[in-house]
Structures are given as C-alpha cells and as structure tokens.
Structure 1
Amino acid sequence: MKKYFKYIMISLAVVSLSSCEKFLDINKNPNSLTSATPALILPQAITNSALIGNNSSQSMSDFGGYQANAGGFGGFGSVVTYDFGTGNFNGLWVGTYDNANDFEYILTNTSSNPVLAYSTAIARIMKSMDFERLVNQYNDAPYSDALKGSASLQPKYDKAEDIYKACIAELNKAIADITTAQGNIATEKITASSDPLFSGDMDLWKKYANTIKLRMLIKMAGVPAQQAYATAGFSAIDRTLGFLTTDAINQPTYEKTTRPSPVYSSLGFTATGTNVNTSRIPTKWIFSFYNGIKISDPARGAAIYRNFPSTPTNQLGDESAGVPAALAAGSAWFTGTNTTTSTIGVVKGPGQGVPVMLAAESYFLQAEAFARNYLTGDAAAAFQNGVLQSFTYLYKNASNVVDPSKNPAADVATYMTENAASPLVNFNLAVSLDQKIEAIITQKYIAFNMINNDEGFNEFRRTSFPKIENGSLNPTATFASRQSISTRSDKLPSRILYPQQEYNLNPNNAPSGINKFTSRIFWDLN
C-alpha cells in the first residue's frame, strides 16, 4: 500500500523551513539585543550560515539531478512537476537575512575598534558569502537598504550584479584589514573555540575570501556587460595569497545526542537512529557518472552509496509501480554498519562537520580561470588537484581524517586509467576550450554530489554542463523530471520565486512578473 503524500510534505517542510530555525540561535532581532557580545555571536552566526548552506543544498538536490522520488510513495506534486509557488523554498531567504543581521550586528559593534579587526573581517566575509548565495537563487534582492531594522521596513531591491560588486569590495576590504591586523600585536586573536570554520587561522580566512571572490568573478565574466569589471577584478586578485587548498569545514563539535551534524540529520538518521530518507533515492542520471554508463568510478561510488552499485535509483518524476523503494536498512547515502560509528563518504556520522567550501571546488575554479585565460596558470594541474581533493574529502571520516585503508592518489590514478579515453576524466584529451570547460564543470558537478547541490545546479545553469539531451526521457541523458511542466527546452526550472511575504510586506519593491521558467539569474545566459 502506498503511503500518503502528506508524510512527504511533512519531510519537505522540515528541510525547507529548518534554515530559519537557527541552530545555536542567539537572537531573533538584533535591534533588541541587550547583552550579547560580538564574541558570543560570531561562532554561532558562522555555524548558522553553514546550516543554511546545508539546507539550501538539500533543497536543490531534486532540481540539480542528484536525487529522485523513491517507490512506495505517491503524489509528489511540485517536487516532480516543478509547479512550485511563492510559498516554497522560503527558508533560504528568511534564514539568510536573519543570519546576515547577526554579521551586521558584529560589524556595527566592532568596526570602529582596530583591536577587534579579525572579528570585523570575518563578519564581512561571511555576510558577503550570505548575499552571494542569496543572489544565486533569487537574483535582485535588498542589500544597500537592508539590515537596518525599523529604519528601513520596506528596503529597496538592488541589482544582482551590483550586490556582487559590493560583496567583492567587502571581501577585498576584509583581506586588507586582516593583513593590517596581522602586523598589529594588539589585535585580539580569534581562538579555535570562537571560530568553528578555520580555528582562528586568519591566513585561511583570507584564502577563503579570495576563493569566494574568484567564484563570483568567474560568474560575472561570462556576462558581456560585466566583462570589463571582471577583467579588472582578476587583475587585482592577490595570487601570492592564493586560494583554498584544504576543505572549509564548519565544526562546532557536533555530536549525536544533543547536537548532531546537519548533514547527518538531513541525509542519514535522527538522533535516535531513525532513517530520514525513506522518500528519496539517487537518480539514474547521477549514477551514470559512477557505474560506467558515462564514467566508471567505483571507488567514489562505493564511498558515497550504500550497496553500490546495487543501490536503488530512479528518474525524477517516475512514479510507476516498478520504482524501487528506499533501502530498508538505512539511507542510500550512508555506508556505515551502524548509526554511531564514523564512516567515509558524504554522510560520515553524527559528529561530522558541515562542508562550506571544498578544496575541490577551489581547484576547479582555478582550472576554469586558467583555461579561459582569466588568470595565468596550469589548468590541467588544477583540474587534477580538483579530482584528487574530491576523492580525499570523500575518504575522510567524521573526524576529518582520511581512512587509513584509503589511498586517494592511487585511486585517482586508477580512475584515470579506467577512463583513459574520456576527456571528462583525462584533461589532456580535452582539446578545445569548450571541451576543457565541460570537463572542469562535469568533475565539479560530480564533486558536489549531495554536498553542495545548489552550486552544482548553479554551474549547470551558467554553463549548460554536464551536457543533457533536451526533452529526452532517457534517465541517463537528462535529469529533468518526467512530469516537468517547464516551458524551457531543457524542461528544468530557471530559478525559485521570491517569498510571498515579500509581496505582502514589501509590495512596492518586490519584483513583479517573475517566472520560474523564463526569469533568470544575471549570470545565466543559457
């Protein structure tokens, strides 16, 4: 007997709304604070930003082709038709502004004191990252007139590209301010306990800001009207500082009973060991990058998926009687033998950190910048490092340590050999620029699998890679839903919609005429 769809909707509501129920929340209205200090707010705001990122990733996993509906359920509605409205996906909007308010409070209360320069710079970086993520899903948004409390109850909307430019300016200032503060012996140090992302390593904070900036400039560079700005931005990037070479993992000491990891809670189990993923299984599309249909990758496949290569899979929108149910023994994305012991893969255990930016992404961004001559460098070497770092992250356990039985470099070498004829794996076979970008984005898409699904979908919209066959019903040729009502040739959505509350509370400024299939983010020209 099929279970009623209401249970699906309950689970979707949890994912959609949990980003505005802030983990380790310290305030709901920064204008009402009476005793909270920046030192208290900062680590909790960083952790909440990571939570929002995780929730955004999970919300985009259906759109991005990473997961599909499982058998044993019916009536998936807008999940498979894409007929969603202004009441869906509101958590990202609400959660981001709530989180940005925290960072704005820190900026207001520290920026005039050079002793607190590190706190100020971190808040500046995280606020910029918040708005970058918001723009990537909504486009125009309140920025310059936002975060002012009662002084601006109906903030005007800024152009998405102007928000990007403002955030890049903030990132530049943060990097410069950290450098200055590092030469000041009086600067108050950031301790590991107050920095769950980089444990007080301010050089890593600068590299993180530089990498975010690179990601934004690459998106802007593809827009003709923004090319001059992007070119100047690339020229100004501090190459001596460099970019992230290690994973940025938020870890405020998650543990199973009172504070389980959001990744584990989203894709694995509850604190009591109940499987939270009974309505979702991987797509046949994403599996084709592991099981040999497109690429042979049994090492990462086995690290990510339970019972690989026999994990149940489906095509989004296929609700026929033959669709397999989710695994009874546990989540498809948890390969461990029990819900307590740490394992490798995407879902590592209740104590795992939340990945905010993978080193793999940093290297793939560099590879694209080098391939397009935005920056000078070895695209092939950066590509190879991106693949290696993807294997390395998946081979780490919940303690962020590579399992001693795994050898990422050796498995990458095997991966290259098994796919010796594929330019998607062996970069030297990618001759044209288009082939090089396809290889880079395809490998980035694979690296993002159930980790940063939203950015995987962002990059598909920006570049049209990985390639799909528009209108196909072949489950390995496209990740579009079989029940899509999209008017696009690829049958996918182009964006999510502004929350209804914006039209209720800020009607004079909220953009009108937004269409989920034809309205695009400013960097989406495809």
Structure 2
Amino acid sequence: MKKILFILVATGAISLTACKKSDFADSYANPSSVANSNVEKQFAGFLASNRWYVLPDYWNYFVVLRTTLNHYNQAVGWANSANQYVPGAASITDRWNNYYNFLAQFRELENIYAKLPEDDQKDRRIFMIAATIYLYDHTQKVVDLHGDIPWSEAGKMSANGGDYANSLPKYDKADAIYTKMLDDLKGFADELNTISIKNPIQEGFKNQDFVNNGDLAIWKKYCNSLRLRMLARVSGVTAFQSRVATETAAILGDPNKYPLITDNADNVLINVYNLNSEIHSKNFRTGLEDWDGNIAGKAMIDHMKTNSDPRLRAIFEPGANAGGVYNGLDPMLNSSTQTSLIAGGTMSIYNRSTLSRNQYFPGVLITAAEVSYLVAEAYLRAGNDAAAKTAYNKGIAQSTEFYYWLRTLSNDNVSGTLAPTNATEIAAYVASPGVKWENATTTAEKLKLLATQKWIHFNVVQPVESWAEIRRFDAPVFNFEVDNANAQKQPPYRWLYATAEQTYNTANYSTVKAQDNLTTKIFWDTK
C-alpha cells in the first residue's frame, strides 16, 4: 500500500494522503489538468474516484443508505416515519454525481489510451481491461437502482473539447447496457487467458492497482464472477435466457478457462493497510451508528436465533440493557413504541468491533460466498440438485468464515471477545430446519433458501446487491408498515433520477420521464 501511495505522489497524481473527496474530480475530470497524465496515473485516479462508495464511509452510510436501502432490505430496524419509502434527493444526487464523476475518469483514461502509439496500447491493454471490469461492476449497480441511464455518450465532455452543449448524453436502455457489459466481459474472459504483460508494465500495474494488487489471476476470477452475477440477474428475462444457459454452462463447465472466486483468499476487496492513507474505514462508525442507524431488524435476528446461526455473534451484539439476549426491532410496531425500544437499549445492534468501529474493514466488491450462492442457483436451475446443495452449503461456510475473518482485522474490542466458531457449529446450522436444503421440496422453495442466505450475507455490507436480489427473487418476504401519508405506501421498485437531469439534460430526460417514478420495475424484475 505504501508503494501504491508513493507512485501516486511521485508521478504527479494527487496524493491520497492529503486530498479531499473533491480533489479527484478537480484533478482528473478537468481536461486542462490531465495534459501530463498517463495511463498508469489515470487508472489509479479512476479507481480512487469512487472509493468512498466501496469502502464504508460516512456519507454513503448516513446520507445515502441509512433511510433507503438499509430500510427497504430490512437489514436494519428503524422507527417508522412519514414518507419513508421515498428516497431523498440528497441520497440520489450524491450517488448519481459520484458515478458520473467516476465514469468521467474512465472516459479520460480512454482518451489517454487512445492517443498512445499502437505498440504502447498493446503493452498497456491490461489497464483498460481491468478498468472496464471495475467500471461494469459499478455500472450494473446504477442500472439496478435506476433502470435506463445516460451511459454510452456520458462523461465525454473532455473528449469533446469541453463543449458542454454537445456533451449532454442520451439515455441508454437498461437491457442494452447489460447486453454490452456481458458481451465485453465475455471477450475479456477469453482475452485474459492469452494476454502477455511485459515485466515493467506488470510492475506499474501492480503499483497502481489497489483493488487486486496487479494479480492477473484475481482479475480473471473477478471478470467471470461478475459475469455470473449479471447472468443470474437477467435469468428471468425471456430474451436473455438462451444466453444465460449457454454462458453459465460454459463458465461452470471449464473452471480452468473461466475461473471463479471460489475461496475467501480470492475475495475482491479494497483492503486497508495504512490508516494514515486515504484508504481506510475510519468513518464507518459515524456512518452506521449515528442516529441509531445500526439497530438490528426483527426478521434477520429471528431467523439467525431460530436456526442457531454462528454468524449471529459476529455480525450483531445484544443491546446494552438486553441481558445478553438478541432482539430485533419489529417494523410493524407504531413509531412511538419503536422509538422507546431503541432508546431503552434492549435492541440488538450491528457488532461494532466487527463492522462499524473496525477501521480496517475492507471495501467489499465480490466474495466467495456470493459466488457459491450464484453457482448453487445455476446448478439448481439446470436440474443438478446435488451440485446445488454442495454449493449452497459451501456458501454458508464461506460466509461464516468471512465474518469471523473480518473481526480479526479490527483494531477495536468494544463488543468484547468474539467466541470462535467451528465446523461442528456450522454443520448444525446447515442442518437446522429453516436452512437445510432437503427441507425445501420445490425449486421455488430452494430459491427462497438461497435468497435468505444472500440477504444475511449482504446485510449492511453490500446493500445495493441485496436490494437487487430481494427484488429479483421476491424473497425474503417482509412486512412493512403502510405509509398512508404518502402515495408511495411501500418500498419502491427503483430510484428516481437526480433532479438535475430534468434541468440540464432536459431533451434526453424527456425520453425517460414517463418511467421516472418509484413503481416502474427494472427490466430484470419479472415477478
């Protein structure tokens, strides 16, 4: 990590140790500021530009997630209030703006790369492949929140010589964006098997890549695991089903050619090494804990308690006045009762030492447990129940291992010593009535088991992925108080567009205005 930071400073890029959030936008998006940039520097700046939406940070957790996805996913408990199912403008705008700044950094990388001689382009091809994989991971999330978005023409003001009027982007259809991403990822998966990287280029790639530290094998696994996630996401769409079946079978049938993340050692994370750098999780505490944003929800706590989930004590801790008993807040109680329960200290909270006060908590992109659940789903849909069961059970074990590993990173022990788990405890959980694979007798019931395990694994750590999967599976099924004070009486199916789109991208916005509501489903939400 120290070497990465040194390279950023020594080559003239903005120092991660002395910058503000806005510095990256100011330095990388402005065409006049990148005249002396190069592929290596721009690649690092691109990765850095959205880091606070990967690493757990205050603004994302407190402003964006606290009143939106964490509620809609019932990953937390909260006191009901009016208008609670309408995402706030601050939540939408900041996330939207961050993505389009991030996309602008990618476009600048494209511009710099395109100006290189052909031989230099070939030498630095790995930077473009890795950057595009990373971009597509986050683009998928934005599409899953909003649906159609400006994309193919977005972020090109620098390439257009600063011509604002000619840089207003059209909206691309969500399914077309998914198609393009799947096409490219398939191409990258094949290309990464044959790519040759010269030693000096590999060293530069390693120094600037703070996601996978220049590990080509992990980038291959990231690419194919992301493909598998996206293929599963569109598996209910008739137009994609033939492709899903063919490409999923190819991935699962040839792990040498299309390797996946199959072990926690290969998880794609932004790891924290130096708390004095700008790669840290020091603001997770205020982001999650302020205004009681870390209260446990009843549905998750009840499921974990009933089935003796070994992750319970790693992910949650009893309330200060709960006598060691885990309690989750019921979303169907009236708000005054909920407020009193929260104030009374009997409600469980997210384990502070594992999560919010763990300043070394990594930015989580994709883990072995998620991939195992995707593999289980693929085998289940293909009629291979035995392989599906194996992958499902493996995912549970990997998820458990992951959360206990997270605690080992922590520099905080306010939650007390975490009693270790073991194979016997995990096996007992896998065999419990609400978890055991054989207790589900239909494909639909087994998909609900998978959906529940994904929900527990994602919790507040990967809320965008959790919300997408809950909508796709229509599971787990939650009860929500009806908000009779608002037209939006239950959680939405999508987020609205940032209000600036109506003002500044008016003509293009008019093409999607009719679907800019909270009730239009994303194209893959077919249930």
Give the counterpart letter for 2:172 in structure 1. Answer: D
Q: CA deviation at 1:505?
A: 0.9
Partner of 1:309: 325
Quick check: which one's helix share is greater? Answer: 2
Specify which of 271, 280, 284 is matched with residue 261 of structure 1. 280
d(CA) in 1 for partners of 2:403, 2:326: 19
Q: Deviations over 1:305-364 (max 9, x none)?
A: 12263456342784214532358799922343xxxxxxxx33461122111112111110
Q: How does 1:74-473 map to 2 (within 5 A)?
A: 76-78=81-83, 80=84, 82-84=85-87, 88-110=91-113, 112=118, 113-149=121-157, 151=160, 152-182=166-196, 187-189=201-203, 192-237=206-251, 239-240=255-256, 241-245=258-262, 246=264, 247-255=267-275, 259=278, 261-262=280-281, 265-266=283-284, 268-269=285-286, 276-278=290-292, 280-292=294-306, 295-297=307-309, 299-307=310-318, 309-310=325-326, 313-315=329-331, 318-321=334-337, 323=339, 324-325=341-342, 332-336=349-353, 345-347=354-356, 349-373=358-382, 378-397=387-406, 400=409, 406-417=420-431, 419=432, 421-422=433-434, 425-468=435-478
d(CA) in 2 for partners of 1:377, 1:183: 40
Kindly tell me: are residues 114 and 290 of structure 1, through their superposed partners in 2, closer, same or farther at Cα, counting changes over 3 Å? same
What's the C-alpha RMSD, in Å, of the aligned pairs?
Answer: 3.4
Q: CA deviation at 1:198?
A: 1.6
Q: CA deviation at 1:65?
A: 0.9
d(CA) in 2 for partners of 1:515, 1:171: 29
What is the aligned-residue identity percentage? 21
Matched, 1:65 2:74: yes
Structure 1, unaligned runs of 5 or more: 1-19, 337-344, 469-477
State the secondary structure of the residue aligned to 1:288: helix
d(CA) in 1 for partners of 2:138, 2:87: 24
Matched, 1:31 2:41: no
Q: CA deviation at 1:410?
A: 3.2
Partner of 2:163: none
CA contact (8 A) 1:197 1:248 kept: yes
d(CA) in 2 for partners of 1:40, 1:329: 50
Matched, 1:42 2:58: no
Give the counterpart letter for 1:296 in structure 2. Answer: S
Kindly tell me: are residues 110 and 188 of structure 1, through their superposed partners in 2, closer, same or farther at Cα, counting changes over 3 Å? farther
Could you tell which deviates more after superposition, 82-91 or 363-372?
82-91
Structure 2, unaligned runs of 5 or more: 1-19, 161-165, 319-323, 411-416
Kindly tell me: are residues 325 and 506 of structure 1, through their superposed partners in 2, closer, same or farther at Cα, counting changes over 3 Å? same
Give the counterpart letter for 2:440 in structure 1. Answer: A
Q: CA deviation at 1:265?
A: 2.1
d(CA) in 1 for partners of 2:191, 2:148: 28
Q: How does 1:469-488 map to 2 (within 5 A)?
A: 478=479, 480-483=480-483
Q: Deviations over 1:192-245 (max 9, x none)?
A: 542222221111111111111111111212011222333343355353232112
Kindly tell me: are residues 353 and 359 of structure 1, through their superposed partners in 2, closer, same or farther at Cα, counting changes over 3 Å? same
TM-score by length of 2: 0.79
Give the counterpart letter for 2:69 in structure 1. Answer: M
User: How many residues in Structure 1 have an aligned counterpart in Structure 2?
Assistant: 468
Q: CA deviation at 1:108?
A: 3.3
State the secondary structure of the residue aligned to 1:395: helix
TM-score by length of 1: 0.79
State the secondary structure of the residue aligned to 1:356: strand
